[in-house]
Structure 1
Amino acid sequence: MKLFSKAQIYEGDKLTTERQNISSTDLMERAGTQIFNWMHMRMQGAQVPIHVFCGIGNNGGDGLVLARHLITHGYNVVTYIVNCSDKRSKDFLINYDRIKSASKKWPIMLSCKEDFTEIEIGVDDIIVDAIFGIGLNRPPNDWVAKLFQKFKASKAFTLSIDIPSGLYTDKAVEDENAVVSAGYTLSFQSPKLVFFLPETEHYIGQWEALDIGIDRDYLMQTETEVELISKHEVLPIYKPRRKFAHKGDFGHVLILGGSYGKIGAVNLASRSALSAGAGLVTAYIPKCGYHSLQTAIPEVMVVTDENETHISNINFEIEPTVIGLGVGLGTSAETAKTLEAFLKKNKASLVIDADGLNILSQKKTLLKLLPEQTILTPHPKELERLIGKWSNDFEKLEKVKAFSEKYNVIILIKGAHSITVNKNKLYVNTTGNPGMATAGSGDVLTGIISGLIAQGYTALEASIFGVYLHGKSADISLEDYGYQSLIASHIIETIGEAYIDLFKQPEQPKEEAQQEK
């Protein structure tokens, strides 16, 4: 799914009205009606008090359309106009007149001097936030911020239209008290990037995108900087196997890492590379891990360094398709020196994680030695060591994009919604869960991506698909283990089920199934 920028959303609205020969007011009617349909289907006429707070721009106009439909369908509605400016949009004014014509319950005007003491909102009521939309470009004033805090203090369920008021689409929040904390957000046509960033996602609650009929050609043909990755997006990437395929068709992964006490990282990466589909996997480790690794994973070949406790001289005769580098490696001076020598002569594709990244951070000139489209998989602290500190998520994304462009590498920003960054393009993942916050899950990801590259996936395809499979495997394992008991090995065990799930049809709701019968 494409995630459109603010400018692209405005352009899409404009083109839709032109190509469909409708007015902007008609499009607003369509949007507000879709929100009403969503609520009506769930509420079925329930007489819960609904408080619709409307701004005086187009987001407020959407709220007025919703309030009018709720009122005419017999719901218990109070509509408020958050009126602290003289700049009212044309479509807001049209819908303000319409709601006054449709009902004797005219909207209540809230002026900047209101202290909100007369507004009573019960804990079982519903608040609809239609105050500010995506056009917000400065923080709400203190008076509006107090209204938002009243929403929060009421503990009523809050539904935000398009985006929680006070939240920007393209920059960081300046005052966290001046943003609505929604329980649910109904976004028009597609979600926004801020729904998936660590600093802002908690304002969103759950979200859903409502189709308001934006021009299909525009949606299909417009290139966006951000894409949301789910099953629909990864299915076209999947490479089926031929009947007469053999292991040589699916590449050779070399997992290069390990040090005394950290051979388990290589174990996890090697197993996940095999489970992701690599034809062959070899582990290059210090001597101390030879017997344990050979015993634990009989399918994996092992080559040992001359050193007992850490890697000191990288030397092997095989020709791997891809090298997963850094898991459990350690950062000793000798290891760092031999890694530099290796990078100067290496020609194979690389996936670099953990201490491999830390060594690169210690000597950034090594970054120029990386093959094009090398994949870096840092956790937040490793990322900070690579690109420097950032003040907010938007600055972080800009720094990562610049880093990716400068060194022609792919960077995975790991998190609840891991983001694959390839120069100026972002791919936001939708699978995964908090149970993945456990030792070794990053090693598993390194193995999965390496296993995919070995099979012929491009570095970008392997990154996008690998992150998806990694998260989906964890989601499947969650059903048996829960958040607290999920460990990295469980993720490996369900990689096969994650592949199978790609081709499962979604379960049909019982009501629809009964109707078909």
Structure 2
Amino acid sequence: MKIFSVEQLAEADKITIEKQGITSEMLMERAATMVFDEIHKRLQRAPVSIKIFCGIGNNGGDGLVIGRLLQQHGYNVRVFVVNYSNNRSKDFLSNYEKIKENTNEWPILIKGVDDFPEISSGDFVIDAIFGIGLNRPIEGWVALLIEAINKSNAFVLAVDMPSGLFTNKIPSETDAVIRASFTISFQAPKLVFYLPQAERYVGDLQVVDIQLDREYLAKATSNVQLIGKQEAISLYKPRTNFSHKGDYGHSLIIGGSYGKIGSISLTATAALRTGAGLVSIYAPKCGYIILQSVLPEAMVLTDESEEELNNIQFDLEPSVICFGMGAGTSEGTVKTFEALLRKTEKPMVIDADGLNMLSKNKILLKEIPKNSVLTPHPKELERLIGKWDDDFQKLEMAKKFSKEHEIILVIKGAHSITVSGENLYINNTGNPGMATAGAGDVLSGVITGLMSQGYDPLISAVFGIYLHGKAGDIVAEKMSYQGMIAGDIAKHIGDAFLDLFKNEQNSIQN
């Protein structure tokens, strides 16, 4: 799914109105009705006190429509107009008249602090104060109103965008921003929803299709994509009946050191579970018996050193090399990693201590084979690209790093983001249970297994992250977040493949 800019969404609204022969007010009615439908489906006329706070622009107009429909369906609703200016949008004014004509409860104007209603923790609050067009921090008594809503501990539903949140920058700690329990966004999600620093504002997320012009949306270009089930299905390459293991490549997993052999075992297991035809592991001698015992499907090669990698030598020709898990960063290991980089031409997967070596020895960055996949967690990323002020700057720095070194960068997190030049691919699977030791090692194995089978490195990263997250979701359903360990994720990669083709309705929700 494409993630569009504010300007593109505004253009989509305009073209939709022209081509469908409707007015902007009719489009507003359509969008707001969809929000009402979602509320009504969940509340089923429950006797809850609903308070709707409407701005005076089009987001406020959405709130007025929702308020009118809720009142007409028998809900206990009070609608408040946050009267911060005399400049009201045309569609707001039209719906302001409609709600007065069609209901017994007229909207109540809020002109300052003295007009604030009491908001209790049992209230259902709907935030329709500001939409996606906000471009400066909220100030004055409106900021105090947002603070009051946040402090109430009421359930807060944000319409399209939590008020005070920007689409293209992270608010400061002192900015007034609604902390929504749930956000219902129109047509397409916004990039900011998937960034760690915005998590506390968005809450759970649902996107409703308000039927904007399909032709425009299909043709509009975007360098940000959200990867869900339908996108993942399009990346999958089915096998043929007469294929054999040689058709699916040979993955070589290099890493490990004394006490850290488990990491490469997890990576190799994941590569096998993802479908690599052959998997070999290259490790220090101390790992030989362990690896041969726990993973009989893999072949094991050993370094001349007992406890760490000091002289990587092998006579096979792997389809892809994955390096770094548990390798340590000793001087000897750094030197043999440097030698490996210089003699490797095919794209690699580099993780963990491989990334740490690159961070400490930046001269090695120029030796990385083009189109290699690097998979840092936030701290590893910071060591690679430097510190950032906010998540948007982080993305810009990551794009620059990707372009400069001609590599693919996977920023691991709740919504892992694959960076390839200017293009971003945001993953929409996974859960908090995957914050467990070894989960990243499994991800490297999944990506390696896909590259081994001939998937393009970028597709391997994007598809691999999806499968990894889906496997984690399947495990969470069976074992809980707390009960999940990395080995469980690896074991359920096959279930993630099977899930691709289950007939089930998918929605953009977290």
Give me the TM-score of the superposition, normalised by structure 1. Answer: 0.95
Quote the offset at 1:397 in angstroms.
0.8
Specify the alignment match of 2:113 in structure 1.
Answer: 114
Match of 1:146 among 144, 147, 160: 144
Match of 1:212 among 210, 218, 230: 210
The one-letter amino acid paired with 2:446 is I
Secondary structure of 1:284 counterpart: strand
Q: 1:116-195 counterparts in 2 under 5 A? A: 116=115, 119-175=117-173, 178-195=176-193
8 Å contact from structure 1 (residues 258, 286) kept in 2:
yes
Residue 428 of structure 1 pairs with residue 430 of structure 2? no
8 Å contact from structure 1 (residues 65, 95) kept in 2:
yes
| Higher mean C-alpha displacement, 154-163 vs 89-98 | 89-98
Secondary structure of 2:114 counterpart: coil
Secondary structure of 1:224 counterpart: coil
Partners of 1:88 and 1:51 lie apart in 2 by 21
Specify the alignment match of 1:339 in structure 2.
Answer: 337
Quote the offset at 1:109 in angstroms.
1.1
Partners of 2:174 and 2:234 lie apart in 1 by 40
Specify the alignment match of 1:513 in structure 2.
Answer: none
8 Å contact from structure 1 (residues 435, 483) kept in 2:
yes
The one-letter amino acid paired with 2:311 is N
Partners of 1:472 and 1:251 lie apart in 2 by 24
RMSD: 1.6
Q: 1:294-305 counterparts in 2 under 5 A? A: 294-305=292-303
* Structure 1 segments unaligned to the other structure (5+ residues): 509-517
Quote the offset at 1:506 in angstroms.
1.9
Quote the offset at 1:211 in angstroms.
1.6
Which deviations, in whole Å up to 9, do the C-alpha atoms of 1:213-235 show, x marking residues without a partner?
Answer: 10011122212221111111101
Quote the offset at 1:141 in angstroms.
0.7
Match of 1:254 among 249, 252, 255: 252
Residue 359 of structure 1 pairs with residue 357 of structure 2? yes
Quote the offset at 1:458 in angstroms.
0.5
Quote the offset at 1:176 in angstroms.
5.1
Q: 1:384-403 counterparts in 2 under 5 A? A: 384-403=382-401
Partners of 1:27 and 1:445 lie apart in 2 by 43
Partners of 1:260 and 1:80 lie apart in 2 by 65
The one-letter amino acid paired with 1:281 is V
Partners of 2:146 and 2:285 lie apart in 1 by 61
8 Å contact from structure 2 (residues 113, 145) kept in 1:
no
Partners of 1:243 and 1:147 lie apart in 2 by 64
The one-letter amino acid paired with 2:113 is E
Match of 1:406 among 384, 404, 407: 404
Partners of 2:459 and 2:174 lie apart in 1 by 37
Specify the alignment match of 2:99 in structure 1.
Answer: 99
Specify the alignment match of 2:59 in structure 1.
Answer: 59
8 Å contact from structure 1 (residues 2, 227) kept in 2:
yes
Q: Aligned pair in 2 of structure 1 residues 209, 96: CA closer, same or farther (>3 Å)?
A: same
Specify the alignment match of 2:273 in structure 1.
Answer: 275
Specify the alignment match of 2:22 in structure 1.
Answer: 22
Partners of 1:257 and 1:264 lie apart in 2 by 10
Secondary structure of 1:483 counterpart: coil
Quote the offset at 1:480 in angstroms.
3.3
Quote the offset at 1:303 in angstroms.
1.4
8 Å contact from structure 2 (residues 138, 175) kept in 1:
no
Q: Aligned pair in 2 of structure 1 residues 206, 356: CA closer, same or farther (>3 Å)?
A: same
Specify the alignment match of 1:224 in structure 2.
Answer: 222
Partners of 2:174 and 2:452 lie apart in 1 by 46
Specify the alignment match of 2:456 in structure 1.
Answer: 458
8 Å contact from structure 1 (residues 139, 175) kept in 2:
no
Quote the offset at 1:268 in angstroms.
1.0
| Higher mean C-alpha displacement, 301-310 vs 392-401 | 301-310
8 Å contact from structure 1 (residues 322, 349) kept in 2:
yes
| Higher mean C-alpha displacement, 124-133 vs 82-91 | 82-91
The one-letter amino acid paired with 1:385 is R
Partners of 1:94 and 1:479 lie apart in 2 by 47
Specify the alignment match of 1:515 in structure 2.
Answer: none
Quote the offset at 1:97 in angstroms.
2.2
Partners of 2:482 and 2:104 lie apart in 1 by 54
Figure out how many residues of one structure are paired with residues of the other and give that number: 506
Which deviations, in whole Å up to 9, do the C-alpha atoms of 1:339-392 show, x marking residues without a partner?
Answer: 112211211220000010111111222112212211000011100000000111
Secondary structure of 2:304 counterpart: coil
Identical counterparts, % of pairs: 55
The one-letter amino acid paired with 2:80 is Y
Partners of 2:402 and 2:463 lie apart in 1 by 19
Secondary structure of 1:357 counterpart: helix
Partners of 2:209 and 2:6 lie apart in 1 by 17
Which deviations, in whole Å up to 9, do the C-alpha atoms of 1:112-159 show, x marking residues without a partner?
Answer: x32345x12333221111000000111111311211122123222211
Specify the alignment match of 2:40 in structure 1.
Answer: 40
Which deviations, in whole Å up to 9, do the C-alpha atoms of 1:445-477 show, x marking residues without a partner?
Answer: 111110110111111111011111111111212
8 Å contact from structure 1 (residues 157, 183) kept in 2:
yes
Quote the offset at 1:178 in angstroms.
0.7
| Higher mean C-alpha displacement, 356-365 vs 149-158 | 149-158
Residue 329 of structure 1 pairs with residue 327 of structure 2? yes
* Structure 2 segments unaligned to the other structure (5+ residues): none
Which deviations, in whole Å up to 9, do the C-alpha atoms of 1:291-338 show, x marking residues without a partner?
Answer: 211122111111111112211112111000000011111111111112
Quote the offset at 1:25 in angstroms.
1.8
Partners of 1:401 and 1:507 lie apart in 2 by 34
Secondary structure of 2:192 counterpart: helix
Quote the offset at 1:507 in angstroms.
7.6
Partners of 2:369 and 2:10 lie apart in 1 by 40
Match of 1:477 among 475, 478, 481: 475
The one-letter amino acid paired with 1:223 is T
Q: Aligned pair in 2 of structure 1 residues 437, 45: CA closer, same or farther (>3 Å)?
A: closer
Partners of 1:126 and 1:507 lie apart in 2 by 28
